[in-house]
Amino acid sequence: MDDCLKRLERRFLNMYPLKLLSPDVLESEGIEVCDELYENLCNLLSYQKEQDTVFKHYILDDTSSTCISLKESRNIISQGTTGLHSWQAAQALADWCVSHSEELRDKEVLELGSGVGLTGITTVLCCELRSYSFSDCHAAVLSTLCENVLLNLSTPNEKDCHRFVGNVTKTTDNTLLRIKHKNTDVAVMNLPWADVTKNTVPEVDFVLAADVVYDTSTFTELCQALKNLLHYQKTVAIIACTVRDQNTLQQFLHTLAQYEIKIVQIDVPSSRPTHFLLPQDVLVNIYRLQSSGQ
Ligand SMILES: C[S@@+](CC[C@H](N)C(=O)[O-])C[C@H]1O[C@@H](n2cnc3c(N)ncnc32)[C@H](O)[C@@H]1O
């Protein structure tokens, strides 16, 4: 029965391309989209599973044309998450980091909602950091992230550790992987934002996050996590937000302000310089956040 339904859904998808039904398209026409449509759309997209996992190669426009290979999903939503696909905000944030490599030199960095790792892997390869901690909370995202970190940042010996990282839910410690890339300590952590409490926050110089601002129901825990992380005077957060819906973004900025976080939008030229040989066709705003007590 389930199989029959899936086949029908697929036929439906072939007849009515999702692009035309996309809430973005409907919303741009001024049509209000009900939550049920979003939910069903997510379910339909999630049916297209394993065979849609691919390796994408990101070539950096540096002297040695560094190539980053990431295992990721071709679908924007897969296994019920948006985290198995690299988003353009991840590329924009990586561009910011590479352009600020002097500011990041020898610093400790924590990334929230890392997804498959594009921002962090680029930053570790291009900036001489002291440490970089990737984090996320979704089991499939975390295990793909571990694979991508090992693939791009480990030495041949460390690649042998791969088999120990498979089941991310079984670990007691929230650190799933620790390796060294040149002089940088690299870790992958299972870190839901709700778990970033005052007692558990690591003291880092930079907190990074790309494309984590889209679901208003998560704003309170995300802003509380940021407030706790920014509690240390030295800590700065750099957040890259894709501008899909101005209201959602404004609501996030308003919530941040309620948590006494000072927000400065970083002036990025409209055709921002990029270190990737890839087009950029969406607007991404980058914000620098600090505790307003400073
Ligand atoms: C749109 S994806 C962005 C992934 C990546 N930063 C990028 O830009 O390609 C959002 C990510 O945030 C993660 N995320 C969502 N809610 C979270 C939470 N409460 N705690 C930790 N991570 C979360 C998701 O698992 C997902 O990987």
| Sequence letter at residue 194 | A
Q: What is the pLDDT of residues 241-266, one digit of tens each?
A: 999 899 999 999 999 999 999 999 99
Domain total for the chain? 2
Q: What is the pLDDT of residue 77?
A: 86
**Residue 38 and residue 173 in one domain:** no
**Residue 139 and residue 263 in one domain:** yes
| 222 CA closest ligand 1 atom index | 19
**Residue 255 and residue 146 in one domain:** yes
Strands in the chain per DSSP E:
53-59, 67-73, 108-112, 131-136, 175-181, 184-190, 206-210, 236-242, 261-266, 284-291
Closest CA to ligand 1's atom 20: 192
Q: Is 81 in contact with 141 (CB distance < 8 Å)? A: yes
Q: Using CA atoms, how far apart are residues 244 and 211, in angstroms rounded to an integer?
A: 10
Q: Which of 243, 244, 226 is nearest to 292 (CA)?
A: 226
Expressed in angstroms and rounded, the spacing between residue 15 Cα and the centre of ligand 1 is 31
HSE (side-chain half, CA atoms, 13 Å) at 108:
9
SS3 259: coil
83 lines ligand 1 (CB under 6 A): yes
256 lines ligand 1 (CB under 6 A): no
- Average pLDDT, integer, range 114-134: 97
103 versus 77: the higher-pLDDT residue is: 103
Q: Which of 131, 130, 159, 156 is nearest to 146 (CA)?
A: 159
SS3 41: helix
| Sequence letter at residue 132 | Y
What are the residue ranges of helices labelled H in 57-210? 88-99, 101-104, 118-126, 139-153, 156-159
What phi, psi does 36 have (nearest 5°)?
Answer: -60, -35
81 lines ligand 1 (CB under 6 A): yes
Residue 62 has pLDDT above 50, yes or no: yes
CATH code where residue 128 lies: 3.40.50.150
**Residue 31 and residue 111 in one domain:** no
What phi, psi does 250 have (nearest 5°)?
Answer: -60, -40
Q: What is the pLDDT of residue 190?
A: 96
Tell me the residue range of the domain where 83 lies.
Answer: 52-291
**Residue 41 and residue 133 in one domain:** no
Name the average pLDDT for the chain. 83
**Residue 14 and residue 158 in one domain:** no
Q: What is the pLDDT of residue 22?
A: 56
Q: What is the pLDDT of residues 26-56, one digit of tens each?
A: 666 667 767 666 666 656 655 555 558 999 9
* 34 token code pair: 């009900």
* 23 token code pair: 């809430």
| Sequence letter at residue 122 | T
174 lines ligand 1 (CB under 6 A): no
Q: What pTM was computed for the model?
A: 0.81
Closest CA to ligand 1's atom 11: 113
Q: What is the pLDDT of residues 134-147, one digit of tens each?
A: 999 999 999 999 99
**Residue 30 and residue 103 in one domain:** no
Q: What is the pLDDT of residue 40?
A: 67
Sign of the C-alpha dihedral computed for residues 230, 179, 142 and 199 taken in this order: negative
118-132, 144-158, 257-271 — which is least confidently predicted? 257-271
- Average pLDDT, integer, range 194-202: 86
**Residue 27 and residue 164 in one domain:** no
**Residue 30 and residue 134 in one domain:** no
- Average pLDDT, integer, range 148-163: 74
**Residue 12 and residue 58 in one domain:** no
